[in-house]
A = this chain, B = another copy of it.
Amino acid sequence: METANPDAVHSDRVVPDRVPLEPVTPDLDAFKRAFRRHAAGVAIITTLAPDGRPVGFTATSLASLSAVPPLATFNMAKSASSWPAIVEAERVVIHMLGAKNRPVAEQMSGDQRYRFVGDHWHEGPHGLPIVDGVTTWMIGRIVERFEVHNNAVVVVQIEDGGAGEDDDALLYHERTYRIPGEPA
């Protein structure tokens, strides 16, 4: 442990990053509240079900794992409507969303029967459903499905992709869709 903050030794001004922390129980509410406060980019993951139906969902867990080879991860519940398709699928499409994609982010997180009702997508490589007008889409081959309790971490290796119009990134924070703001 380091010695006391030298600023504090010579003055009694408040050092703003020394706020006492109140313990909270690791209960469901505290955990959910913590992740609601942690901003995340918004993505849509799509694939084809074994019967050829398009399936997909809005995800805030998309993360880069490696650049060489290009690997990304996303997390999902095995109770999710898309999980039976993800288990069987060879590939998925990862879409990174911009501000103008907010309506499709909401559609793809709503009732799964209506997620592909509309003209907001087309068939891309391998017949995979590609959502139109996104900032970036990437086709990824599923290389791992790590299961933990009733959840899974899916690892994909990016094979192909495309870029749409530039747009403000779409964020999800405190249960609200936002765009990035001022420099911190």
User: Residues of A with Cβ closer than 8 Å to B?
Assistant: 1-5, 8, 15-19, 21-24, 26, 28, 30-32, 34-35, 37-41, 43, 60-75, 77, 96, 99-104, 116-120, 122-123, 130, 132-138, 143-144, 146, 148-151, 153, 155, 158-165, 168-171, 173, 176-184
Contacts and interface: CB of A to CB of B under 8 A. Distances in A.
Contacts of A180: 39, 171, 173, 178-181
Tell me how many chains of this kind the complex includes: 2
A153 B150 CA distance: 17
B2 A117 contact: yes
Given A61-B64, A163-B22, A102 B176 contact: no
A100 B16 contact: yes
A171 to B, nearest CB: 5
A134 B21 CA distance: 8
A66 B31 CA distance: 10
A164 B33 CA distance: 13
A99 B133 contact: no
Contacts of A43: 38
Given A38-B169, A63-B73, A171-B180, 4 more contacts: A34-B136, A178-B183, A179-B182, A181-B182
A64 B69 contact: no
30 contacts: A1-B123, A8-B119, A17-B100, A17-B103, A17-B104, A18-B133, A19-B164, A21-B134, A26-B159, A28-B67, A31-B158, A34-B96, A34-B163, A35-B72, A37-B136, A39-B40, A39-B169, A39-B180, A40-B63, A61-B65, A61-B73, A65-B75, A73-B75, A73-B153, A148-B155, A153-B153, A170-B184, A171-B180, A178-B182, A181-B181
